[in-house]
Amino acid sequence: MAGTIKGLATYQLEEIGCQIILGNTYHLALRPTSELIDELGGLHKFMNWPRALLTDSGGFQMSPVDGKPMLLTPEESIQIQNRIGADIIMALDDVVKTTITGPRIEEAMYRTLRWIDRCIAAHKRPHDQNLFGIVQGGLDPVLRDICVRGLVDRNLPGYAIGGLAGGEDKDSFWRVVAQCTATLPEDKPRYVMGVGYPLDIVVCSALGADMYDCVYPTRTARFGTALVPEGVLKLKHRAMAEDTRPIDPTCACMVCKNYTRAYIHSLVTKDAMGSQLLSFHNLYYMMQLSKNLHSSIVQGKFPEFVCNFLQKMFPKGDIPEWVCNAMEVAEIDISSCCAPFRYIQATKVQSNLNEDEIQAV
């Protein structure tokens, strides 16, 4: 955010249960500048947010405002983040789109490794700011592996899985996450950057990721879309004008407890209050999802939670194949939610492989 979550006051964020907010380093460096934030005591004090903050490196969104290309060195990125003062800061990495192929990906991965050392050297506040490294390497498991090992060697407080959420197909996406979580240390947080949709978060959590960031909940709110267990609800739709139910009858947020879809429909895209109320609900929904993931894991009921979640989102059992494959690798049995035909298909593939392997031996 540029010093605020769109349309919500810090009191509301606390009420919703937000524990950590991401600050957009590029925007903050532009306005009001990291020097000013530093002079006024850091971002926590500037926005009066008593909980945690994370800043990104400022490198990901380098579209220039004034037409001049902006070069950000690792040293500059860390300096800016030191001044802003967030609890977690991100190393500057060389990000390439996963849809790109060729030597550029390898170049980006090695550069990311060289830069982590420069970031570590430039970091003036290792005692109060945690520098996370970011794993790059595109969709190539060999490159990803080299990057993971390189970062783990530096013994950082946490690790991010970067370079995803940029247009790659879901099947490639989950495999990269699975590979990274399998090889990153168990006792350090794993942060999948730019993810995302509730379904993606559930899958990545099953695979062993811990942290996520996404503009999706608030951005989609501004377009009149609410997050619900079934997926999404488009409040702009004319049918909503007469719907006197709450957005989500199972949601305990102040929006669902007090307002009907009809009223929200009358506000969305026309009045600021509409996007405020929807942003509130959507963030509450995401916080609740995180809480439920957390508590179901702690209580040893994670597979049930996942099944429940998938059943609501895919009542016909038409769970996407990538989700089924990912859950299998995560060793979460979701057979009860899959339509029988699909499940048999998936397991058939598995048993065919086994036969081939045996024959080869």
Q: Which residues bind other proteins (CB under 8 A)?
A: 2-4, 6-12, 15, 27, 31-32, 36, 39-40, 46-48, 241-242, 244, 254, 257-260, 262-263, 265-267, 270-273, 275-277, 280
Specify whether 140 is catalytic: no
Nearest approach in angstroms of CB 277 to other proteins is 7
Catalytic residue among 93, 200, 213, 248: 213
Residue (124 or 270) nearer to other proteins, CB: 270
Asked if residues 280 and 14 have their Cβ atoms less than 8 Å apart, the reply is no
Identify which of 327, 353, 330, 356 has the alpha carbon closest to the alpha carbon of residue 342.
327
Tokens of 221: 């709110």
Contacts of 301 (CB under 8 A, 6+ apart): none
Please state, in angstroms and rounded to a whole number, the distance separating the CA atoms of residues 208 and 55.
23
Nearest approach in angstroms of CB 290 to other proteins is 21
Please state, in angstroms and rounded to a whole number, the distance separating the CA atoms of residues 16 and 221.
16
Residue (44 or 144) nearer to other proteins, CB: 44
Nearest approach in angstroms of CB 295 to other proteins is 25
Residue (153 or 271) nearer to other proteins, CB: 271
Contacts of 274 (CB under 8 A, 6+ apart): 224, 235, 264, 267, 268
Catalytic residue among 38, 56, 187, 248: 56
* Cis previous bond, 32, omega within 30: yes
Residue (68 or 257) nearer to other proteins, CB: 257
Please state, in angstroms and rounded to a whole number, the distance separating the CA atoms of residues 207 and 176.
10
Nearest approach in angstroms of CB 217 to other proteins is 16
Specify whether 56 is catalytic: yes
Nearest approach in angstroms of CB 4 to other proteins is 4
Asked if residues 156 and 188 have their Cβ atoms less than 8 Å apart, the reply is yes
Nearest approach in angstroms of CB 24 to other proteins is 10
3-state secondary structure of 262: helix
Handedness of CA 310, 311, 315, 321 (dihedral sign): positive
Contacts of 237 (CB under 8 A, 6+ apart): 265
Residue (123 or 261) nearer to other proteins, CB: 261
Q: What is the DSSP string of 20-72?
A: EEEE-HHHHHHTT-HHHHHHTT-HHHHHT--SEEEE--S-S----SSS-----
Residue (59 or 274) nearer to other proteins, CB: 274
Class of residue 125 by CB neighbours under 10 A (exposed 0-12, middle 13-18, buried 19+): middle
- Positions annotated as catalytic residues are 56, 213
